[in-house]
Amino acid sequence: MSSIWIIIAFLLGFLIVFQIAKASEYVSILKGEERARNESNRINGFLLLAFLIVGLFGVWYCNHTLQDKILGEPASDHGERIDRMLYITLAITFIVFVITQVALFWFAFKYQEKEGRKAYFFPHNNKLELIWTVIPAITLTVLVGFGLYYWYEITGEAPPNAQLVEVTGSQYKWEFRYPGADGKLGKKYYREINPLKNNSLGQVWSDPDNRDDIVASQEVHVVVNKPVKFVIYAKDVIHDVGLAHFRMKMDAVPGLPTTMWFTPKYTTREMKQKNGDDFEYEISCDQICGKGHFSMRGVVIVESQAEYDAFLSKQKAQYAIAMEAENGNPAVPSPSGDSTQTKSTSISAVTTK
C-alpha cells in the first residue's frame, strides 16, 4: 500500500514541477531570451559554487561518520604494507582531487557570462602543458615504484617455515586440509571426489602422504606470528578467498591451484578484546559463484602455537575416517594401475609443492 502512495506522491510532484517548467518557459519568452539566460546563468553559477562548498563539507562529513567503520588495524604483515600504500595513494590523489575540483567549479562560477566580459583567446601554451604532463608522470613513477616493491614482497615465495594449509572452495562452503605430521599434502584427483565415501576433496588413498592429512570445513586454525601459506583450489566454479582483516585476497580457480601467504599478527582472542566479543576473522567469497555467493562464509581462527597443537592433536586423519566407514577396518588401497590414476599423480605432484 505504501508503495502506491509513494508512486502517487512522485506523480504529483512531477506534475507540479512540469507546470512550473512550462510556465517558466513562457516567462522566458516574454522576458526575452537574453534576460532569461542571464537570470538562469546567475542561479546556476551560484549553485555550482554552493555545490563545491557543500560538496567538500560532505566529503569531510562522510569521512567523519564512516572512518571508524572501515579499515581498522591491519591484522597481518602484508596488511600493513597494503595500508601504507593505500594511505600514500590517498594523500596524493586527495590533493589532486581538491585542487582540480576547486579549480573546475570556482572557474565556472567566476567566469560565468557577464555583460562586457570577453573570453580570453588562449588556444595553447606548450610550457603549461609540458608541466602538467611531467608532474603526473613523476608522481605516478613514485606510486608504481612503491606499489611494485610491496607487490613483490607480498606475492613472492613464502618463507620455508610457513605453515601449509590447503583451502578448497565449492558452492557455498570452504574446506581445509592440514598436512599432518609429515608436513606434506597428499595427492588428490577430482574424479576421486566422493562425499558419500568421506572423500570430499578427492584424496588419492594410495598416496602415503595422505594417511595423516586432516580435513575440516568452515573453520581454519592458524598460528599467530607464524607465516601461513594457503594453497587454494576450487571444485566447481571460481571462488575467491577474501580476508578483509588481513587485507588478502586470491581467486580459487578450478584446475588452477593458486597460493597466498601472510603472517597473522593478532590472535582471535586479542582481536575480540580490542573490537568486542562479536569479532571474527571472516573468509568471504569475493567472486560471484552462484545463488549462495553472499552466504559463502568461512572463519579463520588465529591462536598460539600451543593452542594450535592441542587443536590438531584432537583431529582424526581423513584417511582413517574414510576407511573406518568403509568396512570397519583400514583397508589397503588398491594399487594405482589405471590411466586416470597416473595422470592424477603428475598433476598433483606439480600443484602441491
Partner 1 sequence: MKNRIDMNNDQKIQVHEGAAGTHEVLHTGNGHGNGHGHHEHKQSFVSKYIFSQDHKTIAKQFLITGIIWAVIGALFSVLFRLQLGYPEESFPILETFFGNWAKGGRIEPEFYYALITMHGTILVFFVLTAGLSGTFANLLIPFQVGARDMASPFMNMLSYWFFFLAGVVMMTSLFVQTGPASGGWTMYPPLSALGQANLGSKLGTDLWITAMALFVISSLLGGLNYIATILNMRTKGMSMTRLPLTIWGLFFTAILGVLSFPVLLSGFILLLFDRHLGTSFYLSDIYTAGQALPNEGGSPVLYQHLFWFLGHPEVYIIILPAMGMVSEILSVNSRKPIFGYMAMVGSLFAITILAFLVWAHHMFVSGMNPFIGSVFVLLTLLIAIPSAIKVFNWITTIWRGNVRFTPAMLYAIGFVSMFISGGLTGIWLGNSTIDIHLHDTYFVVAHFHIVMGVSAFFGMFAGVYHWYPKMFGRYLNNTLGYIHFWVTLVGSYLIFWPMHYMGMAGVPRRYLDFTIWKSFNQFNDLNKMISVVTIVVFAVNLMFVFNFFYSMFKGRKLRTQNPWNANTLEWTTPINPGHGNWEGEIPEVHRWPYDYGKDGRDFIPQTEPVGSNESKH
By CB under 8 A, what part of segment 252-281 binds partner 1?
A: 253-256, 258, 278-280
Binder of partner 1 out of 8, 16, 24, 273 (CB under 8 A): 24
Residues 64-103 that bind partner 1 (CB under 8 A): 66-67, 69-72, 78-79, 81-82, 85-86, 89-90, 92-93, 96-97, 100-101, 103
Place of cell 546556476: 44
Cβ 313 to partner 1 shortest distance, Å: 29
Residue closer to partner 1 (CB basis): 125 or 161: 125
Strand partners, 164: 229
| Per rule CB under 8 A, count of chain residues that contact partner 1 | 124
Binder of partner 1 out of 91, 137, 306, 350 (CB under 8 A): 137
Torsion sign (Cα): 197, 199, 205, 211: negative
Binder of partner 1 out of 12, 16, 53, 62 (CB under 8 A): 62
DSSP class per residue in 150-210: HHHHHHSPPPTTPEEEEEEEETTEEEEEE-TTTT-PPPB-GGG-BGGGTBTT-B-TTSGGG
Binder of partner 1 out of 12, 107, 218, 342 (CB under 8 A): 107
Binder of partner 1 out of 8, 14, 208, 305 (CB under 8 A): 14
Cβ 162 to partner 1 shortest distance, Å: 17
Binding window for partner 1 (CB under 8 A); candidates: 135-143, 204-212, 213-221, 317-325: 135-143
Place of cell 600514500: 88
Please state whether 269 falls in left (phi above 0), alpha (psi between -120 and 50) or beta.
Answer: alpha
Binding window for partner 1 (CB under 8 A); candidates: 42-50, 179-187, 222-230, 324-332: 42-50
Residue 348 is placed in which grid cell? 598433483
Cβ 330 to partner 1 shortest distance, Å: 25
Binding window for partner 1 (CB under 8 A); candidates: 50-58, 177-185, 209-217, 222-230: 50-58
E-strand ranges in 272-336 read 281-285, 297-303
Residue closer to partner 1 (CB basis): 225 or 295: 295
Residues 154-213 that bind partner 1 (CB under 8 A): 154-155, 170-171, 190-191, 193, 195, 202
Contacts of residue 183, defined as CB under 8 A and 6 or more positions apart, other chains included, come to: 164
Contact assessment for residue 235 and residue 203, using Cβ atoms and an 8 Å cutoff: no
Q: How far is the first Cα of the chain from the last one, in angstroms, to the nearest whole number? A: 62
Please state whether 218 falls in left (phi above 0), alpha (psi between -120 and 50) or beta.
Answer: left
Measured at the alpha carbon of residue 285, what is the angle toward residues 191 and 165, in degrees to the nearest 5? 60
Cβ 255 to partner 1 shortest distance, Å: 3
What three-state secondary structure class fits 219? strand
Residues 320-349 that bind partner 1 (CB under 8 A): none
244 binds partner 1 (CB under 8 A): yes
Contact assessment for residue 264 and residue 228, using Cβ atoms and an 8 Å cutoff: yes
15 binds partner 1 (CB under 8 A): no
291 binds partner 1 (CB under 8 A): yes
Cβ 290 to partner 1 shortest distance, Å: 5
Residue closer to partner 1 (CB basis): 75 or 323: 75
Please choose, from the candidates 263, 268, 283, the residue with its C-alpha nearest in 3D space to the C-alpha of residue 163.
263
Report DSSP state, residue 333: P
127 binds partner 1 (CB under 8 A): no
Amino acid identity at 248: M
Residues 299-318 that bind partner 1 (CB under 8 A): none
57 binds partner 1 (CB under 8 A): no
Binding window for partner 1 (CB under 8 A); candidates: 41-49, 206-214, 308-316, 318-326: 41-49
